[in-house]
Structure 1
Amino acid sequence: MNGPGDILPAAAARFGDKAALITATRTLGYAELDHLSDRVAAWLIGRGVRPGRPVSLYAQNRWEWVVAYHGALKAGAVVNPVNVMLTPSELAFVLRDCAAAVVFTSAEHAATLVELTRDLPELTNVVAFGPAAGTGDPATDGVTGFDEVIGYPGDAPAVTPDPDSPSTIGYTSGTTGHPKGAVQSHRAVLTNCAATATMHGRREDDVVVTALPAPHVYGNVVINGTFLAGGTVVLMERFTPQDTLRLIAEHRATLFEGVPAMYAMLLADPATSDADLSSLTRCTVGGQTIPVSTIERWEQRSGAPLIELWGMTEIAGLGTTHAVHAPRVPGSIGVSLPGVQVRIADLEDSARDAPFDVPGELMVRGPIVMLGYHGNPEATAEAIEPDGWLHTGDVASMSPSGHVFIVDRRKDMIITGGYNVYPAELERVLAGHPAVAMVAVGPVPDPVRGELACAYVVRTSGAEPTEDELIAWAGERLAAYKRPRLVRFVDDLPKTSTGKIMRRELITRFDGD
């Protein structure tokens, strides 16, 4: 195999009509999934999409998303998976930055995409999941229905990409307030899926229930790692405790995979106490740190080990996790994936290793590290050292056994429900409100989502903005997961001697205000 585009053809040859993907609306076997993605690839080639051109996917979890993903790879396109929670302005930035040629989306977003195409000359085709658009609605003129795409009669292309060429551009929120596109090679994505499947002991008789977003690297690794092993993915459109419990019991799932907030919500739901979880053999959790007490409670209730992991967009998925049969080390994010190096660098000199059990910066090197940030050589040079070590920005320590423990997350970053939120982006938006003189955003703890973004606002003289007014202002300009959940009005903000706002001092300074 050269890359993730080879996963389905190989699995179809081995497993034929065995169920590969189950959603609320359709079940697809490996052979059918492979055939439908061939149709997508043929359609893309027929529409002039040449190898190396970006193709964007902007929709909730659904079978069509998975088909379009693999079809784009088979056509030699570079996949651009987009978080469906982005606002139109954020989406426009991503599509413009990567110069997407085609975007696949759901029907409810089609009109928005058509509007965006007027200012994006590179974007020539909008495909809506569902039937062809012949409704006469001017808002959807020029939208191609997905049924037309998968019915395309042309031959499937025979594209063999260079393993080290771009496979995916995954955008991650930038600390400067604008997202950056992490370019991942075919080798990186395939290696991550294969190594993760190995560490977690995936097999062809596994049934995996997950609501992880397919555009997220964690979700991608779960889906494609399962396909590599010939298992079955039960893909939820979105997470609810009730549906999760029902699907685990109905399909006799062997794995459930999610973020800490999902486990917290499951444990808080009274129905969990009587749910049939006896089929589970292991579960995984990533996206943010999880309390050991939550792990223990879930393991006691489910009877299955909960395997912690750590990853990031810049490494196409996981960087560390635990081998399923290895001795347990609670509170650790595990050890490096096979073929991948991790080290803890001295906080003052990244060329030196920190001693065991001493905090430093977690760094990663190996075939999973991104090629760089799309069109941003300066940011790439800051992130990747000349010898290949990637700066993660996470503070961690390592035990003599090689197990890694996260001490603190990237400076100033807030992780809420598994999503990364950067204060600079929120501050940039809130500072545009006429009643805001100064603003800083910091985290406050939350028992379900881990952290919430709280905006500390100094009002302009004579202005009296309300909390609801500022949250609504941000809500019109930012994806839902990025919006501040709390606003506190203060007289001043803590600063360093050079005038830099000290975000991590916010909750300490204003706690209880």
Structure 2
Amino acid sequence: MEQSIGALVKDSARRFGDKTALIADGKHWSFRQLDNFSSIVASALRERGVGKGSVVSLYSPNCAQWIIAYYAILKLGAVVNPLNLMLTPSEAAYAVNDCKAVAVLGALDKLVPLRDTLGRDRIRLISFSGTGATIESFDDLLAGDDKGTYPVEGIAPDDLSTIGYTSGTTGHPKGAMLSHRSILLNTAMTSTLHVRTEHDTVVSALPCSHVYGNIVMNSAIACGMTLVLHAVFDAKVILASIEACRATMFEGVPTMYMYLLNLPELHDYDVSTLTRCTVGGQTMSPYRMKEVESRLGAPLLELWGMTELGGLGTTHPLYGPKKHGSIGVPLPFLSARIGSLEHPSVAVTAGEIGELQIRGPVTMMGYFGRPEATAETIDTDGWLHTGDLACVDEEGFIFIVDRLKDMVITGGFNIYPAELERVLCEHPSVAMAAVVGVPDEMKGELAKAFVVCRNGADLHPEDVLDFCRQRLAAYKVPRLIEVVDDLPKTSSGKILRRELRAKALPHNQTS
């Protein structure tokens, strides 16, 4: 394993040279080019005062410049702060200021008006797409010379490499600090379990700023794969890309697969080169997982991870037993347990629901500037409390039940939205579903389901309710059904429950 993340691209350039590493925006980039350009940008950043320990933010959709800048920052021993492009300008400015970034690179039009908020004299803005009175051009950095040896000396595996901000559903988001070791080990173990090699071509629209997309990118570079990167997910474009590039892997979140299944033209595309796909980010119905495998002709490996782990915590291996609906087993070198909700340090028995906890060398170093929040998340024995409700079976396979904060309590009964969503997605007319709790004077909360109709199907709320009554205990059946055209999602494709909760006010409810 390399000593630093920046060394990944250097080593791959040595091993794979002019082989295509990246296809983005219709252009091909070799491993040698990515290494050379990232060293040139590292030199340019160094001339602008960026050095070991400096924090640099990246705020851009997927593109070659994002990847070049990412490795350039890390080759300097600086710290990368990958920002979700869906953040509002004020949210992005908060993160940039909170982590004390010295520069922001990317698509910066939205940030220029906040220049004073960011600190006009402190933060340098460098744009991927243009220049202006207050910003520099990334092209000018690329036009320079490589004036040093990169990665620089003195970068240790346990040095800080990344500050990744959590979604921050309540209050301000927190910056999870991750070491080089965390990202490198996560990349190596993910690659090992999925058997990623230089013979693979992977298609992805997962944002590189998200931990899932970041591991896809780093594993492609580390293993000599060709990464076909898309800035946004479009089902037809993705399928055409798989066909044209003869991709062996596609990686995505459940909603992406739902869009693929819902596309009438799916059978028109040749996806026979796929040898495996991965899915993570949210739970997925086993029924739909089997349909994906049948329609795409490749196994679907479910995985689970979080920002505080720098990527995956668990996955299914390519070779080995698999269970649909399970997130698999811990990565090598990691331990997992299901802690009691009443006594978190006590592991529950197989089949009991508790909080998933992870311990090992990939866990974050802590939250930047938030020691109290760190102590609340990582206990004195090193267990990271994930906030996910889960259970484990007798064979050691872990099953996510739901997010602890998403649990709906109705009349004293616990309802897990993910369980309801899995049942709803088994209905032949339902393409996607999301369940949230809505206030109720009598029962405290009621479960409300938002469902999206499959193309060409008829969807009637009462039929959906009857379907649920046959498969769920009476108290679990959603009391409200609303048919919608689509569901709100994050840039990585996760369903935004908080927006649905805001929408699910009494005057908006239909049954």
Task: Report the TM-score when normalising by structure 2.
Answer: 0.81
Q: Which whole-Å CA distance do the structure 1 matches of 2:236 and 2:170 have between them? A: 39
Give the counterpart letter for 1:257 in structure 2.
Answer: E
> CA, structure 1 residues 130+441, in 2 after alignment: closer, same or farther (shift >3 Å)?
farther
Corresponding position of 1:255: 249
Note if 1:368 corresponds to 2:362.
yes
Corresponding position of 1:346: 340
> Shift of the alpha carbon at 1:338?
0.7
> Shift of the alpha carbon at 1:445?
4.2
Give the counterpart letter for 1:241 in structure 2.
Answer: A
Q: Which whole-Å CA distance do the structure 2 matches of 1:160 and 1:148 have between them? A: 28
Q: Which whole-Å CA distance do the structure 2 matches of 1:393 and 1:480 have between them? A: 17
Corresponding position of 2:349: 355
Deviation track 1:363-420 (CA, whole Å, cap 9, x = no partner) reads 000011000011000000000011110000111111122110111223138999xxxx
Give the counterpart letter for 2:11 in structure 1.
Answer: A
Corresponding position of 1:11: 12
Q: Which whole-Å CA distance do the structure 2 matches of 1:444 and 1:378 have between them? A: 36
1:98-109 superposed matches below 5 A: 98-106=99-107, 109=108
Deviation track 1:153-201 (CA, whole Å, cap 9, x = no partner) reads 2513524312112110110123532111011111001111111011111
Q: Which whole-Å CA distance do the structure 1 matches of 2:133 and 2:191 have between them? A: 43
> Shift of the alpha carbon at 1:142?
2.8
Corresponding position of 2:377: 383
Corresponding position of 1:187: 181
Corresponding position of 1:125: 124
1:7-406 superposed matches below 5 A: 7-106=8-107, 109-110=108-109, 112-121=110-119, 123-130=122-129, 133=131, 140-156=132-148, 157=150, 158-406=152-400
> Shift of the alpha carbon at 1:484?
2.2
> Shift of the alpha carbon at 1:43?
1.0
Q: Which whole-Å CA distance do the structure 2 matches of 1:337 and 1:488 have between them? A: 38
Deviation track 1:437-473 (CA, whole Å, cap 9, x = no partner) reads xxx9997444589xxxxxxxxxxxxxxxxxxxxxxxx
Q: Which whole-Å CA distance do the structure 2 matches of 1:91 and 1:480 have between them? A: 20
Deviates most, 284-293 or 327-336: 327-336
Q: Which whole-Å CA distance do the structure 2 matches of 1:126 and 1:303 have between them? A: 46
Q: Which whole-Å CA distance do the structure 1 matches of 2:346 and 2:182 have between them? A: 26
> Shift of the alpha carbon at 1:511?
6.7
> CA, structure 1 residues 182+207, in 2 after alignment: closer, same or farther (shift >3 Å)?
same
Give the counterpart letter for 2:113 in structure 1.
Answer: E
> CA, structure 1 residues 7+282, in 2 after alignment: closer, same or farther (shift >3 Å)?
same
> Shift of the alpha carbon at 1:29?
0.3
Q: Which whole-Å CA distance do the structure 2 matches of 1:482 and 1:48 have between them? A: 42
The answer on whether the counterparts of 2:39 and 2:146 sit within 8 Å (CA) in structure 1 is: no
Question: Which of 482, 493, 499 lines up with 1:484 in the alignment?
Answer: 499
The answer on whether the counterparts of 1:117 and 1:123 sit within 8 Å (CA) in structure 2 is: no
Q: Which whole-Å CA distance do the structure 1 matches of 2:496 and 2:355 have between them? A: 27
Corresponding position of 1:461: none
Percent identity over paired residues: 46
Corresponding position of 2:410: none
Give the counterpart letter for 1:128 in structure 2.
Answer: S
Gaps of 5+ in 1: 134-139, 424-439, 450-478, 492-509
> CA, structure 1 residues 23+340, in 2 after alignment: closer, same or farther (shift >3 Å)?
same
Describe the SS at the equivalent of 1:484. Answer: helix
> Shift of the alpha carbon at 1:320?
0.3
Q: Which whole-Å CA distance do the structure 2 matches of 1:276 and 1:256 have between them? A: 13
Q: Which whole-Å CA distance do the structure 1 matches of 2:134 and 2:93 have between them? A: 18
Describe the SS at the equivalent of 2:118. Answer: coil
Corresponding position of 2:489: none
Matched length: 439
> CA, structure 1 residues 442+53, in 2 after alignment: closer, same or farther (shift >3 Å)?
farther
Describe the SS at the equivalent of 1:411. Answer: helix
Describe the SS at the equivalent of 2:499. Answer: coil
Give the counterpart letter for 1:118 in structure 2.
Answer: D
The answer on whether the counterparts of 1:392 and 1:410 sit within 8 Å (CA) in structure 2 is: no
Give the counterpart letter for 2:317 in structure 1.
Answer: A
